[in-house]
Structure 1
């Protein structure tokens, strides 16, 4: 979305037309709606803005639920925004620390600010992109005077308020991609805005949360902060660094796992020591990505009476009929030859036509490998392709 489209949309007639169009779920609907609106005499800018927003609102339901029906987005802003359930967890951290006001520096379309405001915090949201800041102002308008939105960079805002910060804590989301409202590309940490050095100096003196990508080089994490990796419905989505009053005493590493409305958390003072390697047992466990990133696999292994399948690969194995929210557990059927032809024959003999393929530690394209198996049958199973030492391993298993 560019400024001309935004200007056309942010009028009573534009917003009314958007509500009348309703959600658009397919590219065929896009084409039909564009033709209908242009035939009705609406301007190209308005048609583009309305149809684009209707499509984005439909996609945004996965992150924002019913709130998406009254929000505005850019494609990049939606992709990079925090889903509302996770934003509520962030806000809860601030509230539980007794903080009543926060500056959201790099607010995007306002996902986290929505969470803060919904829990009663006063919020000042800042974004460097004028279009994005305008959308954030629209999305946060229902909270009235409890939320203010301004344009500008995080550095500019901090410099302008350096003599006396008007808030008790900060939330920072450094831009980790090239600028733009649709197609963007990842950038290197040294090119982020604001820079990590600037962010880390700031959070050393002000209570703060910093949202980063989950794959951040752990060597860059400063001492004295709590590092919390977050996964949602099986995908590891972010790393949050907490400082000052927002960091929990004695917690250096944390893995927050959410599935639907349920949430579990595993914490440790530091990386957990791994359990020793053991031979494949009756069960195979795949740790959640947040647990792997936080390096708390050892703590999970001990809770399952399990060990590592290989010291370099994040699979656990055990003989105990135990599971945990921090793993996906599978009962081992058998170990099969790791070659497609032999595997295909074994799967055909087991009447397996639906196969989930998981792999770690082997250079295999699961989609290409599946095509070589010529699957047909009425049963389903999971196939693990991995290695123990230098040997490849193919393990057929069933979800527990």
Structure 2
């Protein structure tokens, strides 16, 4: 999909005609796009209709991140929808900045303005900088559309040339995608992680958004490392400067609920008990499974697997509990027989430490019946194992 500027200037969508056209497309069905486009082209320029349809599709995709109220007032680029911070995560980060007493932030690599919007809504003055002219224009339109133009200044520039001395804090969200997809080397980010760290050190406070798979050993000693999940999905990691040096945390949204590391040794391996706990992804990425295991008085089923087992059920926001009914050596034949015997038709397949793909397993065991179950494909003390149970 091309940019809206491939066809007409983006500003055309901001005209009265463009706005009226977008309003008619709020709830349109993409499956009917050909018929809708044919009808609209009898009343509007074809290029404008094409651009409006592209924007309508982007808005529909953006609802999952921004909610309908914001998404249908905002403007997007394809990359902007893909890379923008989810509204709940951006709001949480903005609240952290506000709690630190930050009144102005230089938002570097601001994209379409997702974080800038959250910061402004927290009462923080924002300089939003992006080097792409189209993206900067869209960010400016979003600030206007949401009534935040007085708090957000958008600037099209190279972030490495921006003087941030007038701001209390910087927020850097480097590009982590290139022409070949995701970039895993932090020094290949644009700008590089080392540049972002240097920029962070110039201000009293800073936050750097990074990929959740970042190796712990490259986190600077003076930084706080925080992994964030939303609704159980890991969204990002953030390096905070000017907060709690050396701290490692996992924050779960909604909430927020934050688990802070205490430097505990790895939990002991023990036999599978009555309950199995699946730690939240942010907890696992932050290497805080030991803290959760201690809270649950549990241990690991294998020294390399992040499943916690315990004999008692204890409530925790940091892990999902399952009651285990069966522990079997890995065998598709045995699993198929057990599921048939228990009339299991709804089968949830989870895996950790197994090469078997969930869809492949479902296809082979062909679950059928009125009951539901969860099967964990994993290792127990090094042996390939199936654990069958149900959520508590």
Same-fold status (TM-score > 0.5): yes
Structure-2 residue corresponding to 1:224: 222
- Tell me by how many angstroms 1:2 deviates: 4.2
1:33-75 Cα shifts (integer Å, max 9, x gaps): 222222334222x122211111221221221111111000112
Which residue in the other structure is 2:24 paired with? 20
CA distance in 1, matches of 2:187, 2:96: 28
1:149 aligns with 2:151: no
Report the Cα offset of residue 336 of structure 1.
2.9
Q: TM-score, structure 2 length as denominator?
A: 0.94
| TM-score (normalizing by structure 1) | 0.92
Among 185, 193, 199, which residue is 2:190 paired with? 193
SS in 2 for 1:39: coil
Corresponding residue for residue 208 of structure 1: 206
Separation in structure 2 between the aligned mates of residue 33 and residue 59 of structure 1, nearest angstrom:
19
For 1:266, which of 248, 256, 259 is the aligned residue?
A: 259
Following the alignment from structure 1 to structure 2, what is the Cα–Cα distance between the partners of residues 369 and 75? Answer: 35
Tell me if the contact between 1:272 and 1:297 (Cα under 8 Å) persists in the aligned partners.
Answer: no
Distance 2:134 2:31 in 1: 28
Q: CA deviation at 1:7?
A: 3.8
The 10-residue stretch of structure 1 (296-305 or 386-395) with the greater mean CA deviation from structure 2? 386-395
1:91 corresponds to which residue?
94
Contact 1:121–1:146 (CA under 8 A) maintained in structure 2: yes
Residue 94 of structure 2 contacts residue 122 of structure 2 at CA under 8 Å; is this kept in 1?
Answer: yes
- Count of residue correspondences: 383
| 1:40 pairs with one of 33, 36, 43 | 43
Cα RMSD for the two superposed structures: 1.6
* Structure 1 residue 185, shift from structure 2 partner: 1.6
How far has the Cα of 1:337 moved from its partner?
4.1
Q: Note if contact 1:337-1:343 (Cα within 8 Å) is conserved in structure 2.
A: no
Counterpart CA distance in 2 for 1:8 and 1:218 is 47
Q: Is the 8 A contact 1:229 1:255 kept in 2?
A: yes
**Are residues 1:388 and 2:380 paired?**
yes
Q: 2:44 & 2:87 partners in 1: Cα distance?
A: 37
Which residue in 2 is equivalent to 1:55? Answer: 57
Per-residue Cα deviation, 1:11-33 (whole angstroms, up to 9, x for no partner)? 22112211122233x43133332
Following superposition, the deviation at residue 341 of structure 1 comes to 1.6
Contact 2:226 2:250 in 1 (8 A): yes
